[in-house]
Structure 1
Amino acid sequence: MSDPTTDTTERNEEQPPSSSRRNFLKGTGLAVGGLIVGGVVGGLIRPTSKEPAAPSPETGGGTAVNYNQALMYFNQEQFRIVDLATERLFPKDDQGPGAQELGVAYYIDHQLAGEWGMNGREYMQGPFFAGEKTQGYQGHLRRREIFEIALREMQNYSNAKFEKDFTGLAPEEQDTVLKAFENDEVKLTTISASGFFKMLFSSTMEGVYADPLYGGNGGMSGWKMKKFPGSQMAYTDIIEKEEFVNMQPVSLREHMAQ
């Protein structure tokens, strides 16, 4: 019988330990340090290939799926109401796309799913007093709760006035409902109708012009309409130029990909 130690030494001489481990990792796709990419782990790592990246909605190319447009908080009915309401606040015209095409409702949905929707950075304990109009909302409800109540009341008001859900109304009828909220013609017991309208309007504007990373401003079209350059790394090459320089906008996602 041969000496096990001798056999092991001979095998190691034929195939160094690092080589055998490398072959094993090649077969399983478990290496992560930039040497081997495969299997499940490889799918989570950006490929190092020099092939051009597939076009994305953020860069305005092709019809690639924008996986950032996925619901995180709204149910389908709530999303449809917000999608249509924001389009009435920022409609498509000859200047460019409206809120629906820009994905504004997804932006609002994502914000409500996070700290903003939970008022995570604000003091929310009592006692509560009626504040001045300049102070904004002073109650105990979170923003996501305010949206839930207001969207339900939008449906109730639409059915009471037009015998249809908000999503089934003509654009002019939707404007009537939104105007009623803006003017506090809708009497709500827990929140101010006009306070919700202001929140919806400001959120719509944020969704139009925020970085596409947050769900809205699809294709950076909101920036393009304003000729806003986005998240440029520097302006040293143009800062001293007298004439206006129209730069193609750059998103945070493109910086992350570099």
Structure 2
Amino acid sequence: MANDKPNQPQDESRRRFLKYSGTALGGVVLGGVIGGLVGANVKQTDKDETAEPGKSGTAAENKDYNQALMFFSQDQFTTAEAAAERIFPADDSGPGAKELGVAFFMDHQMVSQYGYNARDYMLPPYYKAEETQGYQLIFKRNELILLGLEAMNQYSNTKYQKPFAEIAPEEQDAVLTAFEKNETGIKDFPATNFFAMFLNLTMEGAYADPLYGGNRNMAGWKMRNFPGNQMSYTDYIEKEEFVKLEPLSLHDHLELG
């Protein structure tokens, strides 16, 4: 009969390899830096497992991962955020576009099917469109927004020697007004097209479900006493008095379910 004892060092070595390489994580061998981190943090992982019940034991729990850039560069985001704040500024009634995260909403829309005109027919031949036909430009929406943000900075640098985000609020208003009234140009399309789309995105970002990146903490809805995405109104529909409900996001239904 074969003796198992000579194999024990080899088995022990293999167990160590599995533990520190990360093979146990989904059956995938993790090499290089990731594999090293798995081994280096084994003791830390053991500590996390003893965290307070209901808590992960990590600082990441309080992070909002929906507030992350997917399309804009940092400069483009800063310009969009500053412009949106002038269109939807903070006042006594509540937060403005910046605090609501409207620029994050725009960023997420630009990388979506909406931003890429995925459901629009975009091939030639092209004909002059009527105003009632809606968006008819050959540019994708994300291209139009990027060209518009670049044009705003160029206009601001020419007139005020600073990019849009760094000029005074009244100067920012003047720049936006010039685009609204088509008093300046953008390459290959009217400035009013950009302003109209940017205005719509600002309002959508202030009042859309927070799941899409804006309306942070449902503050846009709270300013309007809008109940958000309630599952049912059967308990209130026959009440004569106004019923103020705490708003719910689509994400809340996942937790309630």
Matched, 1:226 2:217: no
Amino acid at match of 1:228: F
Q: Distance in 2 between matches of 1:157 and 1:151?
A: 10
How far apart in 2 are the matches of 1:29 and 1:180?
A: 56
Match runs of 1:236-255 below 5 Å: 236-255=234-253
Aligned counterpart for 1:216 among listed residues 214, 217, 238 = 214
Counterpart for residue 73 of structure 2? 75
Query: For the residues of structure 2 that align with 1:227 and 1:170, how far apart are their CA atoms?
Result: 33
- 5+ unaligned residues in a row in structure 1: which ranges? 3-27, 32-38, 44-49, 55-62
- Using a 3 Å threshold, how does the CA distance of structure 1 residues 198 and 53 change in structure 2: closer, same or farther? farther
RMSD: 2.6
Residue 150 (structure 1) aligns with: 148
Cα deviation digits, residues 144-171 of structure 1 (max 9, x gap):
1101111111111101111111111101
**AA in 2 matched with 1:187:** G
State the shift of 1:142 in Å.
0.3
1:107–1:215 CA contact under 8 A, matched in 2: yes
**TM-score, normalised relative to structure 2:** 0.76
Which one-letter code corresponds to 1:176 in the other structure? A
Task: After superposition, give the CA deviation of every residue in 1:52-97 in whole Å (9 maximum; x if it has no partner).
Answer: 679xxxxxxxx93211000000000100000000000000000000
Residue 95 of structure 2 is matched in structure 1 by: 97
Stretches of structure 2 lacking an aligned partner (at least 5 in a row): 3-23, 28-37, 39-44, 46-51
Superposition deviation, residue 126 in structure 1 = 1.3
Any idea what SS the aligned residue of 1:119 has? Answer: coil
CA distance in 2, matches of 1:257, 1:90: 31
Deviations 1:18-55 (CA, angstroms, capped at 9, x unpaired): xxxxxxxxxx5769xxxxxxx9xxx9xxxxxx95679x
CA distance in 2, matches of 1:235, 1:120: 35
SS at match of 2:241: coil
**Aligned partners of 2:25, 2:140: CA distance in 1, in Å?**
46
Match of 1:121 in 2: 119
Q: Following superposition, which runs of at least 4 residues in structure 1 exceed 3 angstroms of deviation?
A: 28-31, 50-54
Structure 1's 249 and 52: CA in aligned 2 closer, same or farther, altered over 3 A? farther
Q: Which SS does the other structure have where 2:128 is aligned? A: coil
C-alpha separation between the residues in 1 aligned to 2:95 and 2:55?
A: 25
Aligned length: 212
SS in 1 for 2:62: coil
**Amino acid of the structure 2 residue aligned with 1:130:** K
Note if contact 1:85-1:174 (Cα within 8 Å) is conserved in structure 2: yes
Which SS does the other structure have where 2:105 is aligned? helix
- The percent identity for this pair of structures is 50
Partner of 1:11: none
2:11 is aligned to: none
CA contact (8 A) 1:129 1:138 kept: no
Partner of 1:170: 168
Are the equivalent residues in 2 in contact too, given 1:128–1:138 (CA < 8 A)? Answer: no
Flag the 1:219–1:201 CA change in 2: closer, same or farther, 3 A: same
Query: Using the alignment, how far apart are the partners of 1:204 and 1:89 within structure 2?
Result: 8
2:55 and 2:142 mapped to 1: Cα distance?
A: 37
